[in-house]
Amino acid sequence: MTIDLINPEPRTPLAKRRWRCRSASALALTLVFVGVGSASAQAREGVDVGKNSAFSNLVPADQVERSSAEQYVQMMQKASEQGALAGPEHPQLKRLRTIAAKIIPHALQWNPRASHWRWEVNLIGSKQINAFCMPGGKIAFYTGILDQLKLSDDEVAMVMGHEVAHALREHARERMGKSAATNIGASLLTQVLGLGQIGQTVTNYGAQLLTLQFSRDNESEADLVGMELAARAGYDPRAGVTLWQKMGAANKGAPPQWLSTHPSGTTRIGDIEANLPKVMPLYERVKTN
């Protein structure tokens, strides 16, 4: 077999076919590496909080979301029976749903399951300074947090973004997974995954989804992810600072319920301020367009 030094394709038919196959394979491999290099070179805009905890994989997401939906329905029914559930024409509820409609489309990149969630937003008449988003996108605000803190739309978006972030980062599943691992024991975990014990964990915690206390890492993640969600939706992320200043001012003796499970203080505000440069361009782009 001879090869032309100017055109290095072999001259025999069989050799030509082999050479072309090798050339095509080499070209495909080169394109793959170029694609990988280009993807890695394009850093993601926004905050960086890493991947979801591996503990969340120990508990089936559909079971947690089903339990959450059942509990949410019960809560809304009880509020309705007490005359505390806002009707669809309530101005504050319409305000909340408008903000949610802008935030939710940006939630999908944080959790693929969110595209299948049946998102709901409701308002409950209560003096509680509280709000939540349960697994599966079940959002509720209490009138107390809106009225007593006199929240601007930007501040409401920060609260909502924070709570939605808990659901997207699956902090409830993580908490349940850690509990399951602790109660069952790591050495036995692989033996019981198919025997219903994990399902029992969901059952045990199902009635406690609103009272699960997240770790400081969870809260920090929710602050940052929520701030990005708000910024992408066109709400000023600097409102995170004024929000927590208001929450701190509301802490007279006993902290508000929302604040009691959401550690606050100068460190928290400092973390938000430190990450503002990562999300302000997102907000400014929306406002410019």
Which of 177, 193, 268 is closest to 226 using CA atoms?
A: 268
Which of 215, 91, 201, 113 is closest to 164 using CA atoms?
A: 113
Query: Which positions are annotated as active-site residues?
Result: 163
